[in-house]
């Protein structure tokens, strides 16, 4: 495991065991991680007005963030498999919060390009370290619930971050949302030492630390077909989902004449509110399904894509606000019921020493594809309209589900067995 940190305390503290104290801290950190991303989506109109930007400029900002996040996620995963995961989380949280605060001081579009790129670099180190740290502390019995709880933090952050930024922008100016979120993140970072503890003891200064080498992790992952399918599925979903997360507030503002704050509350509320509810149940469903066998997490995730996709088709045409809002909420809720399976699947098909690397590669593929989706949406928005772009993304979810079903039957059982055997061999070494 990681080579630095304090020993894992066995006693309960403040009514919570250490695994759940960590899960609670990461819930709030995850919330700020996505709140800082979502804030920009809520203030697109005042940014375009103040800086003279275009839809393509906004698309480029979103893509620069996602592509930087993607490019360095591979490095972030390898780093989290070799060094203290808790310290990586602290520094990532500190840096991205500082960049968010500085975003509120930007005065030109190039400055926003630079800051969004920096945000992608700072944030990419968080997820591999956080997910692997949860995997270190939570076994099969609680892993789905812990990781589902962590994921729900992302959704709450997106919801509150977008709503807060949009409301503050409408009444006090767009900068205040970034200052508030950045300051909150810096405050949370100062509390990290009280909550985060790595799952391995600190070696003494004279002890030789045997850290996992980088290339064996990639060599192992290259021979895991179910991991390759996960990457492909994540890329397909990234193209479909990131444009929604980026452009929804503008969609409601332009199509239904809502004010800046109302558009943010409507867009993020209907999208992320149901996601939070779905993810709250998702962890329990995931752990219950895993009782039949760990591979059933893959089938649960595929089922959530199939059941949620038809509702997205209601974006096509000129639906009423009630109809499109209801369809969006139902789609988001159903899809979220499978969300808590992704990282547990990675933990099931890869040995512990390679999990951060695997999650880093997963982030690379999903974020890079998402960047393509955001940029294409910005370019095609004028000709096709946001509704048509959102609606046709339903077919991408069907395709992602098909890939997972194939993996469930042909690849996952063998890959889980191989990961378990590798872990046993490492324990005996």
**pLDDT tens per residue across span 143-196:** 778 887 888 888 788 778 888 888 888 888 999 999 999 999 999 999 988 888
Q: What is the pLDDT of residue 212?
A: 54
Within the chain, which residues score under 50 in pLDDT?
A: 1-14, 201-210
Helix (H, G, I), strand (E, B) or coil at 337: coil
Q: What is the pLDDT of residue 10?
A: 39
Q: What is the pLDDT of residue 9?
A: 40
pTM: 0.71
Instruction: Tell me which residue of 243, 190, 230 sits closest to 344, measured CA to CA.
Output: 230
The residues, any chain, with a CB within 8 Å of residue 62's CB and separated by 6 or more, are: 40, 116, 242, 246, 371, 374, 375, 378
Q: What is the pLDDT of residue 387?
A: 93
Provide the CB-side half-sphere exposure for 413 (13 A, CA): 7
As a three-state string, the secondary structure of 181-219 is HHHHHHHHHHCHHHCCCCCCCCCCCCCCCCCCCHHHHHH
Q: What is the pLDDT of residue 382?
A: 85
CATH number of 18-197+212-428: 1.20.1250.20
Q: Extract the tokens encoding 114.
A: 């630079």
Q: What is the pLDDT of residue 209?
A: 42
Q: Looking at the DSSP assignment, which residues form a beta bridge with residue 16?
A: 13
Q: What is the pLDDT of residue 304?
A: 95
- Spatial distance between the Cα atoms of 268 and 262, rounded to a whole number of angstroms: 10
> In the block, which residue shows the tokens 């809502």?
258
* Dihedral sign, Cα of residue 352, residue 14, residue 180, residue 277: positive
Name the residue ranges covered by the structural domains of the chain.
18-197+212-428
* Burial class (CB within 10 angstroms; exposed 0-12, middle 13-18, buried 19+) of 139: exposed
As a three-state string, the secondary structure of 95-124 is HHHHHHHHHCCCCCHHHHHHHHHHHHHHHC
- Spatial distance between the Cα atoms of 186 and 362, rounded to a whole number of angstroms: 27
């Amino acid at each position: 495991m990681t080579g630095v940190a304090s020993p894992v305390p066995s006693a309960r503290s403040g009514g919570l065991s250490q695994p759940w104290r960590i899960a609670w801290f990461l819930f709030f950190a995850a919330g700020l991680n996505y709140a800082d991303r979502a804030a920009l989506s809520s203030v697109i109109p005042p940014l375009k007005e103040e800086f003279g930007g275009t839809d393509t400029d906004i698309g480029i900002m979103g893509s620069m963030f996602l592509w930087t996040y993607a490019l360095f996620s591979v490095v972030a995963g390898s780093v989290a498999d070799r060094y203290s995961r808790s310290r990586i989380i602290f520094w990532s949280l500190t840096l991205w919060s500082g960049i968010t605060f500085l975003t509120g001081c930007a005065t030109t579009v190039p400055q926003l390009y630079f800051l969004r790129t920096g945000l992608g670099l700072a944030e990419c180190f968080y997820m591999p370290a956080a997910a692997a740290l949860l995997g270190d502390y939570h076994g099969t019995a609680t892993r789905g619930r812990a990781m589902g709880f962590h994921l729900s933090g992302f959704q709450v952050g997106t919801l509150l971050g977008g709503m807060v930024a949009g409301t503050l922008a409408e009444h006090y100016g767009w900068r205040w949302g970034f200052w508030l979120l950045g300051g909150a993140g810096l405050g949370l970072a100062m509390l990290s030492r009280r909550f985060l503890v790595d799952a391995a003891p600190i070696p003494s200064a004279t002890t030789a630390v045997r850290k996992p080498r980088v290339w064996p992790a990639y060599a192992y992952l290259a021979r895991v077909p179910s991991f390759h399918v996960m990457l492909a599925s994540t890329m397909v979903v990234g193209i479909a989902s990131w444009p929604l997360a980026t452009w929804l507030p503008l969609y409601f503002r332009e199509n239904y004449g809502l004010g800046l704050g109302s558009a943010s509350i409507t867009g993020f509320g209907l999208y992320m509110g149901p996601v939070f509810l779905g993810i709250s149940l998702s962890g329990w469903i995931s752990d219950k399904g895993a009782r039949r066998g760990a591979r059933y997490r893959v089938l649960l995730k595929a089922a959530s894509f199939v059941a949620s996709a038809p509702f997205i088709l209601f974006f096509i045409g000129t639906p009423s606000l009630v109809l499109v809002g209801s369809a969006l909420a139902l789609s988001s809720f159903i899809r979220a019921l499978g969300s808590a399976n992704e990282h547990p699947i990675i933990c099931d098909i890869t040995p512990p020493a390679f999990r951060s690397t695997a999650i880093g590669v997963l982030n690379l593929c999903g974020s890079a594809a998402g960047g393509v989706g955001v940029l294409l949406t910005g370019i095609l928005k004028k000709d096709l309209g946001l509704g048509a772009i959102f609606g046709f993304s339903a077919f991408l979810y069907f395709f992602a589900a098909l890939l997972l079903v194939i993996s469930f039957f042909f690849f996952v059982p063998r890959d889980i067995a191989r990961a378990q055997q590798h872990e046993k061999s490492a324990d005996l070494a």
